[in-house]
Amino acid sequence: MENRFGISNRVTARVSLAVLLLDDLTGLPITGSNARAWIEGQKPPVKKSDGWNAFLELPPGSYTVTAEGGTFSRITAEVSIGSKLQTLLLRLSPNRLYRVPPDCIRVEGRAEPGAEITLFPRGRQAAFKLLKDAGAGDREIALYCSGSTSPEGRLLRLTAPDGSGETVRTGSPSGDGSGDISLEEPLLNSYPKIGTVLAPAVRTRADGKGSFFAVVRVSSADTGVVVQARGSSEIIKEFPRGEGSTLTAAME
């Protein structure tokens, strides 16, 4: 994303913030009118055909960026703007209107109102693999990502051979070709290269009535979906896949 944008043949404007909206399920940019980003009190961004949203001539300061779409849930993020171009990647989660692909499961559930819900498939995923051992306290992990799958901004569930695990949010690649990806928070546990399973995770929140919804990508080798609900207490349950495309998860 360039830091100058042509408004006419003679006038250019400085791009202060470039926001890329991604479908969190597919990892692909959301283009056209399928989603929008905005900052309250500021001019709408200029939408590019490749999915970027360019906010022009923002004064330096802190802003809240909001994004949503007809089939995507609303998300917000905080960003600080200075004199240089700032970029922001936002992954939008599917809502109940999203057309669920054949390799995914639609999860409808109930939990304590306001509880944080994390979901991930139970099995061995091939999309992500550790390239080297990762230690407790590390702020980076080395990942192999198959195909065009992007690791940036992903929520991943790491499960060690002994069954212990944690969910982490990735940041940006190191840029040196090493495969190292930054983490928003340091690892709590250690994970060996051999035997550690990495699964794409989904996070949402139960509404005021305790209802929640998510779409989880699964493979033919996955036996079910693990759901973790964190409210006044923590509840973890595993639900078998079954034969249908919808799974009901009662976390009460």
Amino acid type, 116 = E
pLDDT given for residue 13 in this prediction: 75
Q: Let me know if 41 is exposed, middle or buried by CB neighbors in 10 A (0-12, 13-18, 19+).
A: exposed
pLDDT tens across the length of the chain (252 residues):
555 555 444 446 788 999 999 999 888 899 888 899 999 999 999 998 888 999 999 999 999 999 999 999 999 999 999 988 999 999 999 999 999 888 899 999 999 999 999 999 987 666 688 999 999 999 999 988 765 566 788 899 999 999 889 999 998 776 665 668 999 999 999 999 999 988 889 999 999 999 999 999 888 888 889 999 999 999 999 999 877 788 999 998
Predicted TM-score (pTM) above 0.85: no
pLDDT of 9 reads 43
Separation of alpha carbons 199 and 156, rounded Å: 6
